[in-house]
Structure 1
């Protein structure tokens, strides 16, 4: 019995090896696209689309490239007034069959996001091989400038942007990843607006030995499928506090007490949004609860009787972020929180009354924000460091 089991195990191992070899050979026959960037530019007096793609090198080539210090992927691009023609041109130029199953990123240039975002989304989403979970981002300049940058500390630029979109941005409270599917649903929604995380290039500080690279921070705001403005770091944090349930994050909230600069390290939050209609006008109440710790510093040790007053100060400070983001939403006339969507969902009869001019109603809506910040720790040491003279 034991010998029979051994023979079966060896047979399975042999079959697995053969299948894996076949898979590797098949992969070598593919041109794997990992990232796309789309611009709308003027070339020789003609407005047209310009699409860039980052393609993964085959492993055999990649080994040689790594020895020579080159990147493990390469860039191709094409321009035309027709997106269909661009796709055709890119496919003709590729030496192998294109594969989109490992495409993780799509970057929109600012002008394309302002004027021609729907055709780009349609071309992307209509591809049966495309991934619906592609992260979409927008830049204030040209997508081509982002596409041509080199990664810092990761294998590829695609992986670096994916990590920032998926983990780092929300961990620091400066943005969050939004997929092409989610973005498309928002753009087509009759009762809310959309936003996308902002991606920009950054230059190394003097003395650093890394190349120019990228940072995902802030949001681009859309109204009726057009880019209309931007959220800075504080406004972006306000959006996240209202719209997301934050878990295991590391967000620093600076505040001052007795002329001393301190920080509240927010590690989690949850929110609840209620509304009612008063005199024909919506009133929203947003309650946000947070937990975090305050790092003790020289001359400032937290005692039990200081906790409640500190929590009040921190709550007032945190409240500034959602209020700034709400003010931006009204300035851009763009409900990216989905507040009016809640009315549509939970009070459909009232929605039917206001649907034709729901944006005017959004501008008139009163929004109250209540913050309840809890201190659950005071850092890694029980006493602050105080140097003796």
Structure 2
């Protein structure tokens, strides 16, 4: 009897292990979406899903004759209605867990705003918020996701990797993920900024395999400048120098290359090895004051003028000139944003809140007006640690 009871209990304990996953999905039933584009279609939202074609990217296939991705499009009143509607043309259910880039068309970002889309994706449990967000400059998101690219078979991967590398090595660009963008939109004292992407060259050939069959692709994707938002709507674009100033203020610069005119003729090229920026606010006589302190360690990349790099006096002059240039970039960026957009994209309001929460709460609704007259003090410290494998330039010694 005891033996039978033990057997029954054993079977009872094993039964739960024999059940399958109720929401299991077979891989060959899913369409893996890596790029999601959002555009305006009249009063509706148009989604473009860049989906991987498994046979074309499989190593066993040895490289197929078709394109590595395909694009499905659908329009509806809301984001998820449109995504679900993609099944009208897609033979597989669209799987959202591997989205790499979310691209907004410029018209949609200007007129409809991006909050509803970001909120819907944040709410969706299968969509991870670590994708990069971009704005298609002077074009639609669907056109951007149409462009086939060399080196990377999957255009969405190309966009993700290009932006990731560029943000780490080139100061005018930065990365913004889905969850970071949500924080920008709901946090007081700061407005969102998103990197743009544009299509260079012949758009008509962008989706053909001929676009990657030549050394110089007829159509190319290029990250370009930063887009400025008020709440969730696009209001304009920063220039390259303004974008640099913004990233220096926001402490987004890891490494970059820049040049500066010599005091006589030619240029000196610098490689930034390390850059850190600290922002701090204080209240002085009832008014907020922002202090920006930037520290930069650089090396000499190239010298196009006959200056004596081996001289400590010359190095000190270069350091001083570099400090002035950094401050100038930041000042010009702030001045331009005040003049053209009248919104605080730098997060100065957040610094005021951290310094005195009660004071900021009193002025929060009028913060953009305070931003217009905000007293900002800049301080820069540049150290040139390396001069490369040469000391003085030999330009003056060139033969006649």
* Same topology, TM > 0.5: yes
Q: Secondary structure at the match of 1:146?
A: helix
Residues 145 and 380 of structure 1: CA distance in aligned 2, closer, same or farther (over 3 Å): farther
Question: How far apart are 1:61 and its partner, in Å?
Answer: 7.2
Question: Using the alignment, how far apart are the partners of 2:279 and 2:188 within structure 1?
Answer: 20
Question: How far apart are 1:68 and its partner, in Å?
Answer: 4.4
Q: Secondary structure at the match of 2:189?
A: coil
**Once the two structures are superposed, what CA deviation does each residue of 1:217-238 show, in whole Å capped at 9, x if it has no partner?**
2111111211111111111111
Which residue in the other structure is 1:241 paired with? 248
Judge conservation of contact 2:50–2:69 (CA < 8 Å) in 1: yes
1:388 corresponds to 2:399: yes
Question: How far apart are 1:151 and its partner, in Å?
Answer: 0.9
Question: Using the alignment, how far apart are the partners of 2:251 and 2:57 within structure 1?
Answer: 43
Which residue in the other structure is 2:318 paired with? 310
Q: Secondary structure at the match of 1:236?
A: helix
Which residue in the other structure is 2:380 paired with? 371
Which of 96, 101, 106 matches 1:100?
A: 96
Question: Using the alignment, how far apart are the partners of 1:107 and 1:171 within structure 2?
Answer: 22
Question: Using the alignment, how far apart are the partners of 2:65 and 2:262 within structure 1?
Answer: 48
Judge conservation of contact 1:266–1:293 (CA < 8 Å) in 2: yes
Q: TM-score, normalised by structure 2?
A: 0.83
Which of 252, 269, 276 matches 2:275?
A: 269
Judge conservation of contact 1:251–1:265 (CA < 8 Å) in 2: yes
Which of 79, 87, 91 matches 1:91?
A: 87
Paired residues for 1:135-214 under 5 Å: 135-140=132-137, 141-203=139-201, 208-214=215-221
Judge conservation of contact 1:169–1:217 (CA < 8 Å) in 2: no
Q: TM-score, normalised by structure 1?
A: 0.85
**Once the two structures are superposed, what CA deviation does each residue of 1:246-292 show, in whole Å capped at 9, x if it has no partner?**
33x23223333212222222222111112222232211111111111
Question: How far apart are 1:157 and its partner, in Å?
Answer: 0.8
Residues 67 and 59 of structure 1: CA distance in aligned 2, closer, same or farther (over 3 Å): closer
Question: Using the alignment, how far apart are the partners of 1:122 and 1:316 within structure 2?
Answer: 42
Question: How far apart are 1:57 and its partner, in Å?
Answer: 1.2
Which residue in the other structure is 1:354 paired with? 363
Judge conservation of contact 1:150–1:211 (CA < 8 Å) in 2: no
Which of 334, 344, 353 matches 1:335?
A: 344
Question: Using the alignment, how far apart are the partners of 1:326 and 1:316 within structure 2?
Answer: 16
Length, aligned pairs only: 358
Question: Using the alignment, how far apart are the partners of 2:286 and 2:41 within structure 1?
Answer: 46
Question: How far apart are 1:197 and its partner, in Å?
Answer: 0.7
Which residue in the other structure is 2:12 paired with? none
Residues 48 and 260 of structure 1: CA distance in aligned 2, closer, same or farther (over 3 Å): same
Judge conservation of contact 1:71–1:156 (CA < 8 Å) in 2: no
Judge conservation of contact 1:264–1:292 (CA < 8 Å) in 2: yes
Q: Secondary structure at the match of 2:391?
A: coil
Instruction: Provide the alpha-carbon RMSD of the alignment.
Output: 2.2
Question: How far apart are 1:84 and its partner, in Å?
Answer: 3.6
Residues 72 and 134 of structure 1: CA distance in aligned 2, closer, same or farther (over 3 Å): same
Question: Using the alignment, how far apart are the partners of 1:65 and 1:382 within structure 2?
Answer: 54
Residue segments in structure 2 that go unaligned for 5+ positions in a row: 1-24, 203-213
**Once the two structures are superposed, what CA deviation does each residue of 1:145-183 show, in whole Å capped at 9, x if it has no partner?**
211111132221111111122122331112111001110
